[in-house]
């Protein structure tokens, strides 16, 4: 059975024609509609219903989804919702940045899975990327989510790394090493992040920090040439997020320990949730030593579309 794409009047793709019919056979018949045709409340309700049985449900509310769309540059005209009549069966969102797109919030109602709906949603997002002339697609999948992981492999995504999602309950540091510490504001924090040479996950790219509020940081130098580095984070009400550590000189375990100790000396009442830290980040031992615990892991996957033949 065919799946139809129904563009909205606001969808710029209508000038180029509707997205071609999706290849997977679907039962029951499904229509794909741009997410911009729905209210935030409708999308939140549908998203939460698709995640009720997930390994990590990560429920949303309207405020959180609105912020998510803004911070991660989600294009609602190119994000898609699968419907059968008046029932939303699934949805998938597409972040768009120069030269790359990001698949996120893919979900299908538990009772409607294994019918090709997820593949149809993915196909629509990949076609949207092609229409944007972007051939690089990124996504993350929760480790041990075998059905989703298998789908992405089928669609030619390749694993590129494993990412940690970490939490730390409020607590003061066990010790605070002496250091020359300087705290800095948003503009300097963004400048340091922008100078990173290694690529980060979409959630921790410079654009995500630029779109986020409460971005701050600190730098320190340990005595006797013991090392130096900086830490950038997002501060919210009694919550720290997006911790990014960089050692400029010395052992990352030592510098990381010092950075975190001075952070939590000032922010001992703050809970911390930081995500998508590569498992091979040299600061991971310092994070665990500072009281972080692993919530779960994601597998980062990339797909590069075949090069187009010259016209």
pLDDT band at 261 (very low <50, low <70, confident <90, very high): very high
Report the range of poorest mean pLDDT among 10-19, 86-95, 247-256, 268-277: 10-19
DSSP reduced 3-state for 199:
coil
One fold for 3-134 and 166-297? yes
- Read off the pLDDT band of 16 (50, 70, 90): very low
Classify domain 3-134 at the CATH topology level. Aminopeptidase (3.40.630)
Instruction: Please say whether the beta carbons of 234 and 242 come within 8 A.
Output: yes
Q: In the predicted model, what is the mean pLDDT of the chain? A: 90
Q: Within its chain, how far is the Cα of 231 from the centroid?
A: 20
| Among 128, 157, 96, residue whose Cα is nearest residue 304 | 157
Tally helices (H) and strands (E) across the chain. 8, 13
Residue that has been written with the tokens 């499904």 in this structure: 30
Distance separating the N- and C-terminal Cα atoms of the chain = 33
Domain ranges of the chain: 3-134, 166-297
pTM greater than 0.85: yes
Find tokens 């580095």 and name the residue: 229
Which class does domain 166-297 fall in?
alpha beta
Using CA of residue 192, residue 193, residue 199, residue 200, what is the dihedral sign? positive
At 59, the pLDDT band (50, 70, 90 cuts) reads: confident
Partner residues linked to 245 by β-bridges: 231
Mean pLDDT over residues 58-83, rounded? 96
């Amino acid at each position: 059975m065919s799946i139809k794409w129904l563009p909205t009047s606001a969808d710029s793709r209508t000038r180029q024609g509707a997205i071609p019919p999706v290849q997977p056979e679907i039962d029951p018949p499904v229509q794909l509609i741009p997410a911009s045709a729905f209210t935030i409340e409708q999308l939140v309700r549908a998203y939460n219903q698709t995640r009720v049985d997930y390994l990590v449900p990560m429920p949303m509310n309207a405020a959180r989804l609105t912020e998510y769309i803004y911070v991660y540059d989600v294009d609602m005209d190119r994000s898609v919702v699968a419907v059968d009549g008046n029932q939303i069966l699934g949805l998938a969102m597409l972040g768009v940045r120069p030269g790359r797109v990001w698949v996120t919030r893919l979900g299908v109602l538990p009772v409607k899975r294994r019918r090709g709906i997820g593949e149809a949603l993915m196909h629509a997002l990949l076609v949207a990327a092609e229409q944007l002339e972007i051939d690089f697609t990124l996504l993350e999948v929760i480790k041990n989510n075998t059905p989703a992981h298998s789908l992405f492999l089928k669609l030619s995504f390749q694993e590129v790394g494993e990412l940690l999602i970490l939490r730390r309950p409020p607590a003061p540091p066990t010790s605070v090493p002496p250091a020359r510490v300087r705290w800095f504001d948003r503009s300097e924090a963004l400048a340091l992040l922008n100078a990173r040479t290694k690529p980060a996950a979409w959630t921790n790219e410079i654009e995500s920090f630029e779109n986020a509020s409460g971005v701050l940081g600190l730098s320190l130098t340990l005595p006797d040439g013991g090392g130096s580095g900086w830490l950038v984070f997002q501060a919210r009400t009694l919550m720290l997020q997006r911790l990014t550590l960089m050692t400029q000189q010395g052992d990352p375990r030592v510098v990381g320990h010092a950075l975190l100790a001075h952070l939590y000396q000032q922010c001992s009442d703050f809970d911390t949730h930081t995500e998508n830290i590569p498992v091979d980040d040299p600061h991971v031992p310092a994070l665990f030593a500072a009281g972080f615990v692993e919530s779960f892991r994601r597998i980062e996957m990339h797909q590069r579309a075949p090069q187009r033949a010259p016209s």
